Amino acid sequence: MQGDQSLVDADAGFLAALDSALPSGTLRPVAARYLEEPRGRYAGRAGAVACPAMAEQVSVILQAAHRARVGVVPYGGGTGLVGGQLAPDGPIPLLMSLDRMARIRAVDAPGNVLMAEAGCILADVQAAAVAAGRLFPLSLASEGSARIGGLLGTNAGGTGVIRWGNMRDLCLGLEVVLADGRVWHGLKALRKDNMGYDLRHLMIGAEGTLGVITAASLRLVAPPARTGAALMVVNSPAAALALLGQAQARLGEGVSGFELIGGMGLRFLADTMPQVRQPFAQPPEWMVLIDLGLPAGLDPAAELEALFADALAAGQVSDGVIAASEGQRRDFWTVRESIPAANRQIGAISSHDISVPMGAVPEFIDRAGPALALVGDFRINCFGHLGDGNLHYNVFPPHGETRVDHEGKRALIKSCVHDLVHDLGGSVGAEHGVGRLKVDDLERYGDPVALAAMRAIKASLDPHGIMNPGAVLRAGR
């Protein structure tokens, strides 16, 4: 059983005792930024912020919290979108930030491994890989602030999953402090290790509910010799899917990214961020961003031209532009990565991070719009990682209205979208995790046997329920 009924506040007595057991300055007052999240749906609470500098200090903190039955909420870069990084209710927890644990411990370029502490910012890990002549291929819009621990905790995806996989696929080993303070030294750099259960995969995606990830061995890759990109206007999501099939048949793993972008997102971008240069005078209803990373013997521009010609002959595309330089390729990605920021300025009524089998993407889009029209008059911005079936399907108020005007319809909108996803064999938590926002969804759509197994694992590794209480699994269940 897991629950916060037995948890107590991180009160003055607990904090004073903990402070005396840690180096001076480890325990700090709670700054406002630790109690906020990007969408403004939750406001957190915490008795203090613990900022350990090493795994041994994390162990001291968790031992004390375990004995006192005080909840601990791990905090990474604060970029999570499902409320996993803060606790809005229940007994007041201790918040643990790993931003002082930000060392690159080692880089083994010949072995394609980088060992990083959990507080490392993704962009710094990417830079360390580049300095060693390698690439850490995880890429997402928040890479300048997202931290490795949080990315592992949520099994983050991003734009390169089609080629390199999720964070789970890019991690070889972990160092983790368990709820009772024991340290699991699993920081290996092995591709093959079949010695029993794989605890690494258990911890990745657990969102800090089973322990605190303090370091990781990350997989590096050789950077592609030549890169290129194109934006192509497609006639429909079905045409985009067919184009993806052609691209992969032609270039295999040379396709590093394949993003579907809807016209509503481009119009939002023009309204809120006109400084972002768009490639087409009139935003098309659908376009795709194709990114290539090829060996030295292939010319990305020539391959994209040939792909476009074939797709044009097949009636799948009607227009396109191929990057003439690395700068223009980055400009294409700026368009894609600015869409979430434009969304935030418009203000979504309900945002959905969903995945369906790739072949079902066109059906989902075709059915979701009419289903939502029965609920109300909305603007829909659909975009995402078509190459792995992950869409961000966000519902906005009509022009001139705000999300507050439609807050009463939010639950119905979410159910409409999520029921359809479930009907198509998909997931309502594709890459952002469960956090606190989707606890009800996990119970509603999750397999009951899987849920029972999850609860048993939680009860075994965290019997007092101190680790991120209320996230992923409902307290008291």
Where do we find the tokens 């319809």?
A: 409
pLDDT at 465 over 50: yes
Residue 157 CB partners (closer than 8 Å, separation 6+): 140, 166, 167, 385, 388, 390, 430, 431
Q: Are residues 215 and 231 in the same domain?
A: no
Half-sphere exposure of 130 (CA within 13 A, CB side): 8
Query: What mean pLDDT do residues 455-461 have?
Result: 97
How far apart (Å, rounded) are the C-alpha atoms in residues 157 and 145?
A: 15
CATH number where 278 lies: 3.30.70.2190
Whether the CB-CB separation of 242 and 361 falls below 8 Å is answered with no
How far apart (Å, rounded) are the C-alpha atoms in residues 106 and 290?
A: 33
pLDDT digits over 385-436, tens only?
A: 999 999 999 999 999 999 999 999 999 999 999 999 999 999 999 988 898 9
How far apart (Å, rounded) are the C-alpha atoms in residues 179 and 64?
A: 10
Q: Are residues 132 and 231 in the same domain?
A: no
How far apart (Å, rounded) are the C-alpha atoms in residues 406 and 350?
A: 10
How far apart (Å, rounded) are the C-alpha atoms in residues 268 and 392?
A: 15
Longest Cα separation, the chain: 73
- Range of the structural domain that residue 185 is part of: 104-219
pLDDT digits over 325-362, tens only?
A: 999 999 999 999 999 999 999 999 999 999 999 999 99
Whether the CB-CB separation of 176 and 436 falls below 8 Å is answered with no
pLDDT digits over 204-257, tens only?
A: 999 999 999 999 999 999 999 999 999 999 999 999 999 999 999 999 999 999
Whether 249 is in a domain gets the answer yes
Q: What phi and psi values does residue 387 have, to the nearest 5 degrees?
A: -65, -15
Per DSSP, the three-state class of 388 is helix
Q: How wide is the angle at C-alpha 72 spanned by C-alphas 40 and 453, nearest 5°?
A: 95
Q: Are residues 214 and 258 in the same domain?
A: no
Share of the chain above pLDDT 70, in %: 99
Number of domains in the chain: 2
pLDDT confidence bin for 3, thresholds 50/70/90? very low
Which of 160, 189, 219 is the last residue before a domain boundary?
219
Tokens encoding 131: 């300095």
pLDDT at 267 over 90: yes
pLDDT at 89 over 60: yes
Which amino acid, residue 164? W
Which of 402, 423, 444 is the last residue before a domain boundary?
423
Q: Are residues 209 and 267 in the same domain?
A: no
> What pLDDT sits at residue 5?
55
Per DSSP, the three-state class of 229 is strand
Residues in the chain: 477
> What pLDDT sits at residue 477?
54
pLDDT at 40 over 80: no
Whether 181 is in a domain gets the answer yes
pLDDT at 4 over 80: no
**Mean pLDDT over each residue of the chain, to the nearest integer:** 95
Query: What mean pLDDT do residues 90-113 have?
Result: 97
Q: Which residues pair with 176 in a beta bridge?
A: 184, 213
How far apart (Å, rounded) are the C-alpha atoms in residues 120 and 251?
A: 34
How far apart (Å, rounded) are the C-alpha atoms in residues 462 and 184?
A: 14
Q: Are residues 126 and 231 in the same domain?
A: no
pLDDT confidence bin for 38, thresholds 50/70/90? confident
Share of the chain above pLDDT 90, in %: 89
Query: What mean pLDDT do residues 363-375 have?
Result: 97
Q: Are residues 196 and 156 in the same domain?
A: yes
Q: Are residues 268 and 406 in the same domain?
A: yes
Q: Are residues 343 and 379 in the same domain?
A: yes
Which of 403, 423, 443 is the last residue before a domain boundary?
423
Whether 241 is in a domain gets the answer yes
How far apart (Å, rounded) are the C-alpha atoms in residues 38 and 162?
A: 26
